A and B are shown apart, each in its own frame.
Chain A
Amino acid sequence: MSEVVMQISQVTKVFPLRDSKVGFKAVDSISIDLHKGEVLGVVGESGSGKSTLARCAFGITEPTSGGTTILGESLVGKSRKATRELRANLGFVFQDPAGSINPRMSVYDAIAEPLMLAGMDSASIDTRVNFLMDRVGLASSQLSRKSHELSGGQCQRVAIARALATNPKIVLLDEPTSSLDLSVQAQILNLLEELRRDFDLTYFLISHNLDVVSHLSDRVAVMKDGVFVEVGTTRQVIDTPKHPFTRELIRVYSGASCEFDLDTWQDGPLNRWAFQNVSTFLPTKVIAASPEPLSLDIELDANLDAITIDVADSTYTLPELLADVDTDSIVVVRKGVLVYEKYFNGMTPDSVHLLQSVSKSILGALYAVMAERGVIDIDKPIAFYLPELVGSVYEAATIAQALDMTVAINFSEDYSDPQSEMARLDRAAGWRTNTTGHDLGLRSFLRTMTASGEHGKAYQYCSANTDVLAWLISEVTQTPYQDLLTRYIWQPMGAHDDASVIVDREGLSVGNGGISCTTRDLARFGLLIVNGGRANGEQVIPAAWVNATFAGASADVESADYLQALHPGGSYKNKWWITAGASREIFGVGIYGQYVWVDPTSETVIAKFSSLPIPVDGVHSRKHMALFRAICAQ
């Protein structure tokens, strides 16, 4: 590779904030080299720190720490004269061309000014200005004009001529085409490339526009929250993006349709938006936050980013693996202290995300409370409480069997088959378009479910079993499901934010997967379990139920091959998965990568949301297990 002309090392910029001792870290120890003749493009959204980085690197703003060397010489600690000489190697082109030219100056004066400051004689200045005008495609007849008499594209040509006046080696292009129309932008981009080739320039290009950056750059750095989340050759970054933010940017710029489709919203890439926004296209009901939320102590553990995880024949760092499994957010709470928290794909600590089948684990906890209060007897058949289900599979199947997924039912949980009972269930719940004329609501669908054998003998995962339980408990208590969750789980556990649950056309909650909540609140739910059912000094869920869940299903229950392959000796109990691993972890899991992971040995809880492109597969599951175990082992 050619010589390094600019070396940016450990540049950090902190802006003081009135209410904070630490201030706002706009740029967080960024290092990168620019090689002679290359174009380095930095792409990021507003507030990502890209302009601040460029200003620090080019000596316009003093960095808080770190610095730049230009052609081997440091920009800081020099005399004024030496600094000025070194700066002659730098050129600048900014976004607003009209604003970067003094409105009182003619085009000639604007280009000549830096030459005069450099001490050039007037005859040479004349020659140089005319040469530059020609090179940027402006006629000499325009030399007497002022900026307001020029079009945006012409202004930017003048700005480029001025930037190149002193023969700089490195040029900062800060959003050079963002205020121009598309056809004019193309002219300027072509011009910049031509000038780079002819004058052997090095460009430091920053833009929010991925199209512009990827077109002009040899290397691309993707910037977010003050750091480069990804750096590589343009081809590498565009063809094999590693970071979810990069993937999201590429998708946005790909022109992929924004067409919302009720039949594919759960699949990638639409799920990246849809899982955070279900309330915009499906009816939901509120599960209310606690008036006194459980506060979480935060003490971030910087070591976690450095751990390496071996899985699926590769070695990942934690950030790499999080990116690999399309993470939307993750919160880790160790011994009651929040030690790790990351958000991607537009999520924030305030964003809610669909839990999918982690919703089932919350229902499990509600049933523990209801059973303890004597509201229901879990050994009674479901139809005992819902007589309209007499004649269906739920005439004989008990509540306990539905909680443990041992109902023998004719039900295919195949997410890809539009004829499967799972697809019918989605249509009944309103999660897919339903033009069949059948399954109009969960109740009518559940009534058609039939038995396939003797209940209680074998584990058989079936989402309908949870919907029937959500219906049952609101029927028995004559209280909407969301209100029961508010009263007995969400508020007692100290939820900070409102959650919601999707309801079907008749207003019945979709118990199998309809809850959305914040990542921290899902972690609070995990905390409730790891603390033996206690929160804020109160016993919210019976301790005996928590212990029984950790103990897992009875050995008499026949397991399933896929469960044993992932978790040898593991089982399903009370709407939780029991790993039977050395640390006795249990977890709730939802399709497309939603998890609450509870490790009683290290007292660690992990809440994680994702938007995997497909519902479920062994590789993603293994990666998640490895990820969680590596975090808990710290």
Chain B
Amino acid sequence: MSTVLKISHLEVDFEINGVITNTPLRGINLEIKAGKTLGIVGETGCGKTLTATAIMGLLPSSAIQRGEIEFGNHGDITKADMADIRGSEITMIFQNPQSAFNPIFSIGAQLTMVAQRRGISDIPATLTARLESVGLRDPKRVLESYPHELSGGMLQRAMIAMALLSSPTLLIADEPTTALDATIGDHVLTLIAALQKREGFAMLFISHDVTAVAKTSDEIAVIYAGRVVETGPTSEVMKSPQHPYTQGLLGAIPSAEKARGTLVAIPGNVPSVLTNIKGCAFADRCSLQMDKCAQEPPTVQIGKQSVACWAVNS
């Protein structure tokens, strides 16, 4: 199976007023196969969205980016390549559909702009068919509507339609259901899965919600403080998490089955982006901490999982 996207040693930091900050992305390695879904899971500030922004080539000018992002046949892509790839071969849907659309243009006007830019002929028919394919059964009304006139679920569907107008190879979905009610969000996830089956695009699915990622992804990557700490097939990672952080995260999910007061509560907080991290970023919250953790842990292979942890290593 061919690889659609390969990210190697991606690092990002920011230069602000001549001062280089600490590194919010400290070495991201990821690979997405054609037609498959890679889920990125992590908590606030871990670098999920920053990774997506880097792939899209949308980092601000103050950002310094190192490492490679190889996309399909393009090889390592530069910012200049990205102008052509972004929005056509790689498209993206965002967390908050209300703010992703421009409030002063109708949905139809905004979809038309995208369709024109993609050189689509017979735009009205294409837009109607596209909206129908995402389960919006009154395309005419949707096209005439302004964003505030549609529900969150409908807007998210409209955004999916917009993202798929160019038949992308890769769809990046950044928290696509976080702003929606659980049942509506579930419908959107099922819709994306159905469309993926039909159209064959690969997907990078980003969420803080472990359950949502587990539901949708073939492979999962757990990010902590700007580094991938564990990757592997979703079923394996969910069944036998190897990294102490992944174990903690799964143990923290509340449920009726777990006795009250006994959830795994990882002590402390996610380190701020301003923290200067040396060695393993998770060490001071980790029950397995040892001397070696002051050094950057290497990534080791355990079965089908890759894990960056000294404790697992020894």
B186 within 8 A of A: yes
B304 within 8 A of A: no
Query: Within 8 Å CB of A255, what residues of B?
Result: 211, 214-215
B277 within 8 A of A: no
* Residues A280 and B191 in contact in the complex (CB < 8 Å), given A252-B182, A258-B186: yes
Query: Within 8 Å CB of B197, what residues of A?
Result: 260-262, 281
Contact of B137 among A184, A186, A256, A279 (CB under 8 A): A279
Q: By the criterion CB–CB under 8 Å, are B252 and A211 in contact? A: no
A214 within 8 A of B: yes
Q: By the criterion CB–CB under 8 Å, are A190 and B265 in contact? A: yes
B102 to nearest A CB, angstroms?
A: 24
How far does the alpha carbon of A53 sit from the alpha carbon of B248 in the complex, in Å?
35
Q: By the criterion CB–CB under 8 Å, are B256 and A153 in contact? A: no
B263 within 8 A of A: yes
A626 to nearest B CB, angstroms?
A: 29
Within 8 A of B (CB), among A482-512: 498, 500
Q: By the criterion CB–CB under 8 Å, are A181 and B215 in contact? A: no
Within 8 A of A (CB), among B182-211: 182-187, 189-198, 208, 210-211
> Which of B185, B254, B258 neighbours the largest number of chain A CB atoms within 10 Å of its CB?
B254
* Residues A190 and B44 in contact in the complex (CB < 8 Å), given A258-B193, A273-B187, A346-B184: no
> Which of A277, A280, A281, A500 neighbours the largest number of chain B CB atoms within 10 Å of its CB?
A280
> Which of B135, B253, B256 neighbours the largest number of chain A CB atoms within 10 Å of its CB?
B256
How far does the alpha carbon of A190 sit from the alpha carbon of B43 in the complex, in Å?
19
Chain B 143-180 near chain A by CB (<8 Å), digits 1 or 0? 00000000000000000000000000000000000000
How far does the alpha carbon of A279 sit from the alpha carbon of B43 in the complex, in Å?
36
Q: By the criterion CB–CB under 8 Å, are B133 and A280 in contact? A: yes
Q: By the criterion CB–CB under 8 Å, are B193 and A185 in contact? A: no
Residue of A nearest to B260 (CB): A193
Q: By the criterion CB–CB under 8 Å, are B43 and A187 in contact? A: no
B54 within 8 A of A: no
A248 within 8 A of B: yes
How far does the alpha carbon of A118 sit from the alpha carbon of B269 in the complex, in Å?
34
Contact of B198 among A45, A153, A281 (CB under 8 A): A281
Q: By the criterion CB–CB under 8 Å, are A45 and B134 in contact? A: no
Contact of A187 among B135, B185, B265 (CB under 8 A): B265
Q: How many A residues are at the interface, by size bracket? A: 35 or more
Contact of B181 among A45, A215, A256 (CB under 8 A): A45
Residue of B nearest to A262 (CB): B197
> Which of A184, A248, A252, A253 neighbours the largest number of chain B CB atoms within 10 Å of its CB?
A252
* Residues A45 and B183 in contact in the complex (CB < 8 Å), given A211-B254, A258-B190, A277-B135: yes
A582 within 8 A of B: no
Interface Cβ pair total, 8 Å cutoff: 140
How far does the alpha carbon of A245 sit from the alpha carbon of B186 in the complex, in Å?
13
Q: By the criterion CB–CB under 8 Å, are A190 and B182 in contact? A: no
Within 8 A of B (CB), among A264-284: 270, 273, 276-277, 279-281, 284
Query: Within 8 Å CB of B266, what residues of A?
Result: 183, 186-187
How far does the alpha carbon of A406 sit from the alpha carbon of B175 in the complex, in Å?
55
How far does the alpha carbon of A500 sit from the alpha carbon of B132 in the complex, in Å?
11
Q: By the criterion CB–CB under 8 Å, are B263 and A215 in contact? A: yes
How far does the alpha carbon of A273 sit from the alpha carbon of B261 in the complex, in Å?
35
How far does the alpha carbon of A553 sit from the alpha carbon of B254 in the complex, in Å?
59
Contact of A260 among B193, B252, B264, B270 (CB under 8 A): B193
How far does the alpha carbon of A242 sit from the alpha carbon of B253 in the complex, in Å?
25
B216 within 8 A of A: yes
B146 to nearest A CB, angstroms?
A: 19
Q: By the criterion CB–CB under 8 Å, are A215 and B255 in contact? A: yes
A46 within 8 A of B: yes
Q: By the criterion CB–CB under 8 Å, are A215 and B260 in contact? A: yes
Contact of B43 among A46, A181, A270, A352 (CB under 8 A): A181
Q: By the criterion CB–CB under 8 Å, are B269 and A151 in contact? A: yes
B249 within 8 A of A: yes
Q: By the criterion CB–CB under 8 Å, are A281 and B194 in contact? A: yes
How far does the alpha carbon of A183 sit from the alpha carbon of B263 in the complex, in Å?
9
Q: By the criterion CB–CB under 8 Å, are A190 and B249 in contact? A: no
Chain B 21-44 near chain A by CB (<8 Å), digits 1 or 0? 000000000000000000000011
Residue of B nearest to A153 (CB): B269
* Residues A248 and B190 in contact in the complex (CB < 8 Å), given A193-B260, A262-B197, A279-B133: no
B262 within 8 A of A: yes
Residue of A nearest to B211 (CB): A255
Query: Within 8 Å CB of B133, what residues of A?
Result: 279-280
Chain B 262-300 near chain A by CB (<8 Å), digits 1 or 0? 111111011000000000000000000000000000000
Contact of A258 among B198, B216, B248, B267 (CB under 8 A): B216
Could you jot down 26 A-B contacts, CB within 8 Å? A45-B184, A182-B43, A182-B208, A183-B248, A183-B266, A183-B270, A185-B254, A186-B264, A186-B265, A189-B261, A189-B263, A190-B263, A193-B260, A211-B211, A211-B253, A211-B255, A214-B256, A216-B254, A234-B256, A245-B183, A257-B215, A257-B216, A277-B135, A277-B191, A350-B138, A352-B137
Q: Which residues in A have some Cβ–Cβ distance to B below 8 Å?
A: 45-46, 151, 153, 181-187, 189-190, 193-194, 197, 208-212, 214-216, 234-235, 238, 245, 248-249, 251-253, 255-262, 270, 273, 276-277, 279-281, 284, 346, 350, 352, 498, 500
Known: A181-B270, A260-B197, A280-B133. 4 other contacts (CB 8 A): A209-B182, A255-B215, A277-B194, A350-B138
Sorted nearest first, the 3 A-B pairs with minimum C-beta distance are A215-B254, A186-B252, A193-B261
